[in-house]
Structure 1
Amino acid sequence: MTRIIADISVSLDGFVTGPDAGQDNGLGVGGEALHIWAFSDDPDDRRVLSEATARSGAVVLGRRLFDIVDGPNGWDDETGYGAREVGEPAFVVVTSSPPESVRLTDLDWTFVTTGLADAVTAARERAEAASSRCGRDLDVVLMGGGATVGSALDAGLVDELRLHLAPVVLGAGTRLFTGGAPHTLVRRSVTPTPNTTHLAYDVLRR
């Protein structure tokens, strides 16, 4: 069964970027510390990343994050979705208007202008089609940014929340949770490593 997974790295004080995040500094000041785990050689970090990438049938992201990953300092042949795993699922971007051009033309991009719920629906269809082709269940992954993940949670679109809790206090930046609707979570797993604590929760639908 295809599940909707919100997957994001976060600081101890709840930020998914450092301050002053922008096109040329997507993670903000100090934000690189959030993703050290994704490039580590720790076996548990590698396993978590590999398993998540392998199960990704489609990925949803917001326009701001798309502009960063498709920008001149974004993904390349060695570093892309899944960090060093460089997975290539279908990508669905929530945006008010599609870009005039795409740099990463070898990836499968779909631009949805009718809202997050429609983007998740489109991604589910792509993931289910990919599941049928490969003969195993694949997921939809909401990779961010923080506003996209938070909005999906508030809209009741998420089945599972995966947080990679980095041992860093950023003090400012982009918050993951901004005082939206309450959520009841049930813990699925906790995997501590020297670089992060991988947390997985089922999200109980309201």
Structure 2
Amino acid sequence: MRQLIVCNIVSLDGYFEGPGGDVMALPFEEAFDDYNAARLRAAGTLLLGRRTYEGLKSYWPPVAGDAGARPVLREISRLNDAIGKVVVSDTLTPEQTAPWHNTRIVTRAEARKSVAELKNGPQEGDILMFGSHVLWNDLLAGGLVDELHLMIGAGVLGGGTPAFTGRPPHGLRLLGAAPLPGSSLILARYAPASARP
């Protein structure tokens, strides 16, 4: 069975984004990009909510050809373009996916069923989620998230969107925690407590 891995950065005080939805308020570092690139290399599907999908597709496509960008950023751009994407939205249309045409759209009502099918499907590689706060919280509550990879940054936002919208039904079990190399980010990996070790 394929693993669904949620990979996100959070502030030290537990926020997913700053006041007013400002994601740039989070304490990003180069290690954040390095880790995301490693996760993309291991993935077979990128699963996103509409807002995150639109944000990523508005930013990443031109980075591949930007000679001034760090090599890992150009690689992330190419990986994002190449990977098959599933976006959960009730409003996005196929015409709005350009330049990422390798995107399948599922409705919110279909999300849990579609993710369960992805997990049991024949494709290889992890199912990876970035951002998509509302979606991953719903999938966590539905028992479909296998691991949470939270990069905890040394920034205190004092407000914004909390990482969790509710308490996971079975709690979480720590798989490991360590600073990312050359960084003040701490990678904390969790699995639902109900999952087998």
The answer to whether TM tops 0.5 is yes
Contact between 1:93 and 1:119, CA under 8 Å: does it hold in 2? no
**Of 52, 58, 64, which aligns to 2:39?**
52
Q: Higher helix share goes to which structure?
A: 2
The answer to whether the 8 A contact 1:187-1:201 is kept is yes
Q: Larger deviation: 150-159 or 178-187? A: 178-187
**Residue 70 of structure 2 corresponds to residue 76 of structure 1:** no
Q: Is the 8 A contact 2:10 2:16 kept in 1?
A: yes
Change (3 A) 1:95 1:55: same
- Find the counterpart in structure 2 of residue 151 from structure 1: 138
| Two-structure CA RMSD over aligned residues (Å) | 2.6
In the alignment, does 2:86 pair up with 1:95?
no
The letter of the residue matching 1:204 is A
Change (3 A) 1:99 1:171: farther
Q: 1:58 to 1:100 in 2, by over 3 A?
A: closer
Distance, in Å, in 2 between the alignment partners of 1:85 and 1:187 is: 30
Q: Does 1:85 align with 2:80?
A: no
Report the equivalent of 1:139: 126
Q: Is the 8 A contact 1:9 1:35 kept in 2?
A: no
How far is the alpha carbon of 1:195 from its aligned partner? 3.0
**Shift of the alpha carbon at 1:61?**
0.9
2:159 is the counterpart of 1:164: no
- Superposed structure 1 runs of 4+ greater than 4 Å apart: none
Displacement of 1:38 in angstroms is: 2.3
Letter in 1 for 2:139: A
Residue 68 of structure 2: aligned partner? none
Aligned to 1:42: none
Return the TM-score normalized by structure 2: 0.78
- The corresponding residue for 1:134 is none
Distance 1:145 1:83 in 2: 20
Note if contact 2:32-2:151 (Cα within 8 Å) is conserved in structure 1: no
Closer/same/farther in 2, CA of residues 112 and 76 from structure 1, 3 Å limit: same
What is the one-letter code of the residue matched to 1:85? Answer: E
> Residue 67 of structure 2 corresponds to which residue in structure 1?
none
How many percent of aligned residue pairs carry the same amino acid?
25
- In the alignment of these two chains, the number of paired residues is 181
Q: Structure 1 unaligned segments of length 5 or more: list them.
A: 40-45, 132-137
Q: Which runs of 5+ in 2 are unaligned?
A: 65-71
Assess if the C-alpha contact under 8 Å between 1:34 and 1:166 holds in 2. yes
**Residues 57 and 99, structure 2, Cα contact 8 Å, conserved in 1:** no
Which residue of 162, 183, 188 maps to 1:199?
188
Distance 1:75 1:203 in 2: 31
| CA distance in 2 between partners of 1:169 and 1:107 (Å) | 38
Q: Which residue number corresponds to residue 69 of structure 2?
A: none
- In 1, the alpha carbon distance for the partners of 2:36 and 2:129 equals 15
